[in-house]
Every structure is written in C-alpha cells, then in structure tokens.
C-alpha cells in the first residue's frame, strides 16, 4: 500500500496531483482545512490537506499496465477518485477515516464521500465504549437526582408554614433546613403527627438554644475603654452618644470621648456636640501615636468611648491602622456595629474582616428601617459573638435598648404564630 499526503490550495489541484502520482484507482482517505505560515498560529494562509492511498504501486506506469487511459487524457468528471476494493489494508484505513471524520470540514461536491465497509463501521472502539459508558453513567445520575427530588417527603403543613416564614425573613436556607429536620425528628420520635403548637415550640426551643449565652449584654462595670468599629454609615457616632448618655444619667459614671474619625469633619463636630450636651471631655487622635496623650488627658474618666473611622473594611491599610488603634492597656471591649438594612452577604464579609481583632459583642442599628431580622440569627450562628444592644431610631438617648432574643424570635415567627 502507498499513502501520500498533499497540501494544496484547492481540491482540483489535489485531484490532479493524486491522479498523476497514484493513478485513477487511488482512494482519498481524509481532507481538512489547515493554515500554513503566519505568526504563532495566526495570519496563516488557508490550505487543504488531502491524504490519499492506493493498493498498487500507483503512478502513470500502473495506469499503462492496467490498460487505462493516460492521466492527461481522462476527462475531469472521470478524474474523481473512487473507493478502493474492501481489502484488508483498505479496511484498516477505513477505520482511520471513521475516527478522523468529525475533525474535518465537509468535502466539496467534486468528491464522492468515501464510505467505510459496514463491518468496520459497526466495530466498537475503546474510545467510543468509554464515551458511551460515561454518557450512560451521567444519564443514570440525572435520573437518580430527579427521582430523589420527587420522592423527597414534603414537610408537614405546620413545619412548612414556619419554613416559608423563616425563608421570607432571610434566615439562611441551610440553617432553616437544619431546624426543620430536627423538628421532624422530634415528631417522628414521639410517634404523633406534629401539630402547629408542637412545630412552633420545637423551632422556638432551637432558636433559644442558638441565642443562649451567659455573658451580659451591658457594658461591664470593669471596662475602662470601649472601642466601636464598623463600616461607614451604620450610625456608630449616634450610638456612642446614646450609650454615653446611659452611662452618665443611669449609672452616674464619668465618661470621656476619643475619636479617630478624622476623615469626616462632620463626625468630629457631631461627637463634640454630644460631648458638650453631656458635659464630657473629648480628644481627637490623628494617628496611633496620639493615643497615649489622649488617655493621659482622660485618666480621670471612669469609662472612655472610642469612635473609629468607618472606612472601607476591605482596605488593608485601614485594617492595619485600626488594629494599632485598638491596642489599649487595661480592660476593654470591642463592639462591632452593624446595620440591619445591610445584606447578610455583606454583613458576613464585614464581620469576617473585623473578626481579625478581638470582637466581644455585636450591636445592631436601624431596626426601625427593616422588617427582616434573619440576619441576626445567621450572624450568631456563623460567629461566636455576644448580642448587646439594638437601636430603633435617631433620638438620643431614647432609641436604644438591650436586644431581646425572645422578641427577635417573635418577630421571626410572627405570621406563623397568628395564622
């Protein structure tokens, strides 16, 4: 057998060369478009690659010995190369043709498509068998998933109502699923059909256990410095004024202010205004090096509230600077201030960032500006933080209170309770 490869500009050129080299009994095995020349595979000139073969010696001498007309005398129509007899070598080449067929563009109409012998085309190949097996496995997997979804038992109506309410409150869906599964297990263990009262009781109990803590929500009497950290726009300065008023008016403690929020002039003026109203001293620090002087100026104070700049929590420079500002001698607490109007995805990212420091408590603001409270549950579940206060307005010092876990649970289950 004789196999030869041609790279030509057009199919007529290929036919002429094949006819001249291999004779009219040659077989075209494959054709495909390629690019020749260019730079790094680009800007190359389009060419056609043709692979042809013959079972005989081929060439013009072969044509003469077989009594065929000379190549030059054959009409263009007769120049079309026809399939070779299905000999053993041709069958092997047919398998090669079948494997490569999908990699090549359609052959122009001037050629008759070579059809491999049926015996070869039906013979399974290892690559085909592997591909078919993988497709079969994927179909089986999709079938199992479909039936699993269909066969998954539905929640009893009382639990389904609570599930819908918790998802509406933006409680994380995985956490909701966990709550439902435990309630369902308790129902199955009792051997009785779960009622609305039993479903609500189970979910309330689980949420109460999640919120449970032995720590006090209030600022400890032994605390010397309270740091307030958080992103921009959550209301840290107003919250500090509310808590300072509580310390002055309710606990009769001498309070001092330190602010490092020199990036917003309005923030300094706002805190100075509150300091004047409460008759408490205030110190402004422009760098961590100024802290020592500020603490000396306020050494007569029982407790110092420190306001930090609410800059971009993703800024590594700010993180480093804030970490230096939180290096305080003596008893201290760091309270993370978050707004309930913030998406939980962002709230989680913020908490992850500030959790690099020693966060002790979390304080939520703007409760009056939202009807969704699931973020509180999500945050307590995902982070080991103690709840402290919640604000529900701008009035100083009134619109702040210790957060009530029972009240939050009531708000989460409100609709299902009254339905």
User: In this predicted model, what pLDDT tens digit does every residue of 144-177 receive, in sequence order?
Assistant: 665 444 445 687 888 889 999 999 999 999 999 9
- Average pLDDT across the chain, whole number: 76
Q: What are phi and psi of 276, to 5 degrees?
A: -65, -45
pLDDT at 244 over 80: yes
pLDDT at position 75 over 70 = no
Tell me: pLDDT of 139 over 90: no
Identify the CA nearest to 306 among candidates 284, 277, 321. 284
| Structure token digits, residue 286 | 């422009």
Q: What would the mean pLDDT of 11-24 be, rounded to a whole number?
A: 84
Task: Give the model's pLDDT for residue 366.
Answer: 92
- Residues 7, 36: contact at Cβ < 8 Å? yes
Question: Any idea where the domains of the chain sit in the sequence?
Answer: 2-121, 123-152, 155-211, 225-402
Residue 59 pLDDT: 42
Rounded (10°) angle between helices 196-211 and 173-190: 130
* Mean pLDDT of the 72-76 span: 38
pLDDT at 332: 83
What per-residue confidence (pLDDT) applies to 265?
A: 57
Q: Quick one: 294 exposed, middle or buried, by C-beta within 10 A (0-12, 13-18, 19+)?
A: buried
Q: Determine the pLDDT at residue 234.
A: 86
- Map residue 60 onto helix, strand or coil: helix
Percent of the chain beyond pLDDT 70? Answer: 70
Of the candidates 207, 212, 200, 210, the one whose C-alpha atom is nearest the C-alpha of residue 414 is: 200
Beta bridge partners of 307: 228, 259
pTM above 0.85, yes or no: no
How, if at all, do strands 332-339 and 361-365 pair?
A: parallel
Q: What is the CATH number of domain 225-402?
A: 3.40.50.300
Residue 52: closest CA among 87, 121, 11, 6: 6
pLDDT for residue 87 is more than 60: no
**Residue 377's pLDDT band (cuts 50, 70, 90):** very high
Q: What is the 3-state secondary structure (H, E, C) of 102-133?
A: HHCCCCCCCCCCCCCCHHHHCCCCHHHHHHHH
DSSP 184-215: HHHHHHHTSPPPHHHHHHHHHHHHHHHH--SS
Asked if residue 184 lies in contact with residue 155, where contact means CB atoms within 8 angstroms, the answer is: yes
pLDDT at 281 over 90: yes
Long-range contact pairs involving 33-37 (C-beta distance under 8 Å, separation at least 24): 33/104, 33/105, 34/7, 36/7
pLDDT of the residue at 173: 92
DSSP-derived pairing of the beta strands 303-307 and 225-229: parallel
pLDDT bin (cut points 50, 70, 90) of residue 341 is very high
Looking at residue 43, its pLDDT comes to 63
pLDDT tens-digit readout, 356-374? 777 889 999 999 999 999 9
């Amino acid at each position: 057998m004789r196999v030869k490869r041609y790279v030509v500009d057009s199919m007529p050129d290929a036919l002429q060369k094949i006819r001249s080299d291999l004779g009219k009994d040659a077989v075209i095995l494959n054709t495909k478009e390629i690019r020749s020349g260019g730079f790094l595979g680009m800007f190359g000139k389009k060419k056609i690659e043709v692979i042809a073969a013959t079972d005989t010696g081929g060439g013009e001498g072969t044509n003469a010995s077989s009594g065929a007309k000379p190549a030059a005398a054959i009409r263009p129509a007769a120049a079309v190369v026809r399939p070779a007899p299905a000999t053993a070598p041709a069958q092997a080449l047919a398998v090669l043709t079948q494997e490569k067929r999908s990699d090549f563009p359609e052959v122009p109409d001037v050629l008759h498509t070579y059809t491999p012998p049926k015996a070869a085309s039906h013979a399974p190949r290892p690559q085909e068998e592997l591909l078919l097996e993988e497709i079969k496995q994927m179909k089986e997997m999709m079938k199992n998933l479909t039936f699993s979804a269909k066969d998954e038992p539905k929640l009893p109506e009382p639990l389904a109502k609570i599930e819908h309410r918790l998802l509406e409150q933006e409680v994380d869906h995985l956490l909701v699923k966990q709550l439902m599964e435990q309630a369902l297990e308790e129902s199955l263990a009792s051997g009785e059909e779960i009622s609305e009262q039993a479903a609500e009781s189970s979910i309330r109990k689980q949420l109460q256990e999640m919120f449970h803590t032995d720590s006090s929500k209030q600022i400890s009497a032994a605390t010397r410095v309270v740091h307030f950290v958080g992103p921009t726009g959550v209301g840290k300065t107003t919250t500090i004024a509310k808590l300072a008023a509580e310390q002055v008016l309710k606990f009769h403690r001498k309070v001092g202010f330190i602010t490092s929020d020199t990036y917003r002039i309005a923030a300094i003026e706002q805190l100075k205004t509150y300091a004047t109203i409460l008759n408490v001293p205030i110190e402004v620090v422009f760098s961590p090096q100024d802290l020592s002087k500020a603490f000396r100026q306020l050494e007569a104070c029982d407790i110092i509230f420190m306001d930090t700049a609410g800059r971009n929590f993703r800024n590594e420079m700010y993180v480093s600077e804030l970490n230096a500002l939180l290096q305080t001698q003596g008893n201290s607490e760091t309270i993370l201030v978050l707004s309930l109007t913030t998406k939980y995805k962002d709230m989680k990212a913020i908490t992850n960032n500030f959790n690099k420091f020693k966060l002790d408590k979390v304080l939520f603001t703007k409760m009056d500006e939202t009807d969704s409270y699931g973020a509180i549950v999500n945050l307590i579940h995902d982070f080991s933080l103690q709840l402290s206060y919640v604000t529900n307005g701008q009035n100083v010092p009134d619109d702040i209170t210790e957060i009530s876990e029972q009240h939050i649970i009531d708000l989460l289950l409100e609709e299902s309770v009254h339905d």
